[in-house]
């Protein structure tokens, strides 16, 4: 008998029928099931947007940060309880636009968080303005002459900053996406999994058909440990778009430098008020 999916929540979803977010939600549930996680062991943090509604639709702990602020909230939670499995799921606008600064520095710090970016190349919740990943020339209501700024190459940035795990998938490829999420969660440190996600209402260019005609899976002899090759692959976009693990290079995580595995999480330690008061008094003397 197959085990009941204890991450599945039966509430209503406010996503458009056919939205790529549905495939991502199922892939996250399946990955957590395959990893043998229990709902109370997992926290999913997001910011603001359609993608950022994912924590509402899954049976785990959840938190919505301000727009662009999912990563610092997730980091705070991970620091307070380093035994919690922390994932961030949010949109390309939220993470790379409003949250771009946090994206860069979270990678540098190498906090053990799995970041899943729903990349629909548009601002969906606010009904179709260009996002940092919109292609050059894309016409939108607010860019009637076409987007004139070059797209944010998140994968190239993550590789340059030595993110331990950098992968791309396509929401329709649910099994493949599930495997990549599992591998990202299993890899200690900051993992980025960017998922191409058609927005059926506001992006009429980058559709299911558009992505399906272009994506191909990276296979051997591709070696994700080869940084230069990974960097070159991250620039491949247009006629052909690679999906799979572009780069993987484990290194010590931020919290490895703060805690030993057996240390009690911060939130379970006794707070000695007397010590805190004397410390603050010292600082203000």
Ligand X SMILES: Cc1ncc(C[n+]2csc(CCOP(=O)(O)OP(=O)(O)O)c2C)c(N)n1
Nearest one of 205, 206, 204, 211 to 172, comparing CA atoms: 211
Q: Out of 27, 43, 44, 94, which residue is the one contacting ligand X (CB under 6 A)?
A: 94
Kindly state whether residue 124 participates in binding ligand X, applying the rule CB under 6 A.
yes
Q: Out of 27, 30, 50, 253, which residue is the one contacting ligand X (CB under 6 A)?
A: 50
Q: What is the CA radius of gyration of the chain?
A: 20
The alpha helices in 81-201, defined as continuous H runs, are 92, 100-109, 154-160, 174-186
Q: Which is nearer to ligand X, 121 or 234 (CB)?
A: 121
Rounded least distance, CB 220 to ligand X, Å: 34
Type and span of the H or E element at 91: strand 85-91
Kindly state whether residue 154 participates in binding ligand X, applying the rule CB under 6 A.
no
Q: Which is nearer to ligand X, 131 or 171 (CB)?
A: 131
Q: Which is nearer to ligand X, 30 or 133 (CB)?
A: 133
Rounded least distance, CB 283 to ligand X, Å: 32
Phi, psi of 266 (to 5 degrees): -55, -40
| Options 91-99, 105-113, 135-143, 146-154: segment touching ligand X (CB under 6 A) | 91-99
Rounded least distance, CB 197 to ligand X, Å: 8
Kindly state whether residue 242 participates in binding ligand X, applying the rule CB under 6 A.
no
Applying CB under 6 A, the site for ligand X has a residue count of 19
Question: Residue with the closest Cβ to ligand X?
Answer: 91
Rounded least distance, CB 146 to ligand X, Å: 19
Nearest one of 251, 166, 256, 184 to 28, comparing CA atoms: 184
User: What are the respective helix, strand and coil percentages of the chain, to the nearest 5?
Assistant: 35, 15, 45
Q: Out of 120, 154, 206, 234, which residue is the one contacting ligand X (CB under 6 A)?
A: 120
Kindly state whether residue 69 participates in binding ligand X, applying the rule CB under 6 A.
no
Q: How far, in whole angstroms, is CA 186 from its chain's centroid?
A: 14
E-strand spans in 114-213? 114-119, 165-170, 191-196
Kindly state whether residue 49 participates in binding ligand X, applying the rule CB under 6 A.
yes
Which residue is it, tokens 């603001």? 48
Sign of the CA dihedral with 259 first, then 167, 116, and 150 last:
positive
Kindly state whether residue 48 participates in binding ligand X, applying the rule CB under 6 A.
yes
CA 67 vs CA 99, 125, 246: distances in Å: 7, 12, 28
Rounded least distance, CB 39 to ligand X, Å: 24
Q: Out of 43, 51, 71, 138, which residue is the one contacting ligand X (CB under 6 A)?
A: 51
Kindly state whether residue 155 participates in binding ligand X, applying the rule CB under 6 A.
no
Nearest one of 258, 177, 244, 247 to 216, comparing CA atoms: 244
Q: Out of 29, 64, 92, 182, which residue is the one contacting ligand X (CB under 6 A)?
A: 92
Kindly state whether residue 93 participates in binding ligand X, applying the rule CB under 6 A.
yes
User: Where along the sequence are the contacts to ligand X (CB under 6 A)?
Assistant: 48-51, 67, 90-94, 98, 118, 120, 122-126, 131
């Amino acid at each position: 008998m197959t085990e009941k999916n204890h991450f599945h929540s039966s509430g209503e979803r406010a996503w458009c029928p056919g939205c790529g977010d549905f495939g991502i939600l199922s892939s996250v549930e399946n990955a957590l099931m395959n990893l043998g996680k229990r709902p109370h062991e997992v926290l999913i943090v997001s910011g603001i947007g359609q993608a950022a509604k994912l924590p509402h639709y899954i049976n785990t702990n959840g938190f919505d940060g301000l727009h662009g602020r999912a990563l610092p909230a997730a980091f705070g939670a991970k620091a307070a309880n380093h035994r919690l499995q922390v994932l961030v799921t949010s949109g390309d606008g939220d993470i790379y636009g409003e949250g771009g600064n946090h994206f860069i520095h979270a990678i540098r710090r190498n906090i053990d968080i799995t970041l899943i970016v729903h990349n629909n190349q548009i601002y969906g919740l606010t009904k179709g303005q260009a996002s940092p990943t919109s292609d050059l020339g894309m016409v939108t209501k607010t860019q009637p002459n076409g987007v004139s700024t070059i797209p944010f190459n998140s994968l190239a940035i993550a590789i340059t900053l030595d993110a331990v795990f950098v992968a791309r998938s396509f929401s329709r490829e649910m099994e493949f996406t599930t495997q990549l999420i599992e591998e990202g969660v299993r890899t200690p440190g900051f993992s980025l999994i960017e998922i191409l996600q058609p927005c059926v209402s506001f992006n009429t260019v980058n559709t299911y058909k558009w992505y399906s005609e272009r994506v191909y899976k990276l296979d051997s002899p591709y070696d994700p440990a080869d940084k230069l090759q990974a960097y070159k692959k991250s620039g491949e976009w247009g006629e052909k778009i690679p999906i799979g693990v572009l780069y993987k290079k484990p290194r010590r995580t931020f919290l490895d430098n703060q805690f030993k595995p057996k240390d009690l999480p911060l939130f379970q330690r006794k707070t000695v008020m007397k010590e805190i008061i004397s410390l603050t008094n010292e600082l203000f003397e």
